[in-house]
Structure formats: structure tokens, C-alpha cells
Amino acid sequence: MRWMWIDRVVELVPKERLVAIKHISASEDHMADHFPAGDGHPPCPVMPASLIVEGMAQTAGILVGHAGAFQEKVILAKVSRAELALDAVPGDTLRYTAVMDRLSAQGAATKGTVERIDPCCPGTIEPFGEIDLVFSHVDNNMAGMEFPEGNFVFGEQFKTLLRTSGINA
């Protein structure tokens, strides 16, 4: 995975819950395009909602992958629900919480909440959105198809993220 949309894992209760954070910076490449100045209005940098959903997918995907010791190739199969009430702007910190709803040999379902931590008042946390996801253990569900031997989802970047967060992978 080339792009990481979470910065740190702050809590892991195996097979139950994972909490990760993302600090949003004006220096991230996508901020220049969403939305640039024009027609007399100033720039309005906002993190695209699709990247916020991907941050939750990475958070929940780690929870699902960790449940199987990262032996399964876990892929996002479905976004069951994605409701975001606010815009994420530079200076914000998002907190993703993924909770395991179901886990089986075929895959998993997670329920997620996103909260914004106020950069001016770190103890102030606002509800931001809810994102529920379904994951597939691709090797168990796509019998007869060939996939790379290595785990193409949980590569070195994720291992480094987990190790620097104090989690063995």
C-alpha cells in the first residue's frame, strides 16, 4: 500500500477494537486540489471524504488482519455505510475507532466511528461520522484464482506503522 491515511495506532484490543489517529496537514498533496482558489474566492483545503473512508478502511483492515495474525489477505469488499457530518481541514486530528461486528473464515464486518479532536482544545472531541465496512479474506472466497504469495495488503509500510505504534505484527 503506497498511501497511508492513518498516522498511528493508539489502542488495540485484539479481535474487538482498534483506534488510530490521523493528523491532517496543509502540506499533503491532495489539499492543494480540494479546493483551490478561483473565481474570487480563497483556497479552501479539505480532506476528501473518500480519503477519510480509506483511513477507516485501513484502521478496520488492521483490526481484521491482526485477528488472523496477518496470514489472510484481507481486502475491502463493501462500504455498508459512510456518513460524515463535518469537513476535515488542516490542523484537525481525526480519531478512527473500528469495532469488530462479525469475524469468520470468509471475512469480517466492522462498525466505525470517526471523531475530530479540536487542535485548540485537545480534550474536546466532536462526533465526525460513522463508517461501516465489510472485508473479505480473498484466498478463502476466490478459490481457484491465483494471488501473489506475499501479503499484498499488509506490506512493510503497515508493519512499520504497527511497530512504531508498539504493536507486534
Domain definitions of the chain by residue range: 8-164
Total H helices, total E strands in the chain: 3, 6
- The pTM assigned to this predicted structure is 0.90
34 is a catalytic site residue: yes
Q: Which residues pair with 136 in a beta bridge?
A: 75, 107
Angle at 26 between CA 24 and CA 28, to 5 degrees: 75
Say if CB 125 and CB 154 are below 8 A apart: no
Give pLDDT, residue 152.
Answer: 66
Give pLDDT, residue 61.
Answer: 95
Give pLDDT, residue 27.
Answer: 87
pLDDT one digit per residue (tens) for the chain, 169 residues: 468 999 999 999 999 999 999 999 988 887 777 676 788 887 778 899 999 999 999 999 999 999 999 888 899 999 999 999 988 999 899 999 999 999 999 999 999 999 999 777 768 899 999 999 999 998 777 767 777 666 667 778 888 899 999 988 7
How many other CB atoms sit within 10 Å of the CB of residue 156? 8
Residue from 30, 34, 66, 137 carrying the catalytic annotation? 34
Where do we find the cell 493508539?
Answer: 10
For the domain spanning 8-164, the CATH number is 3.10.129.10
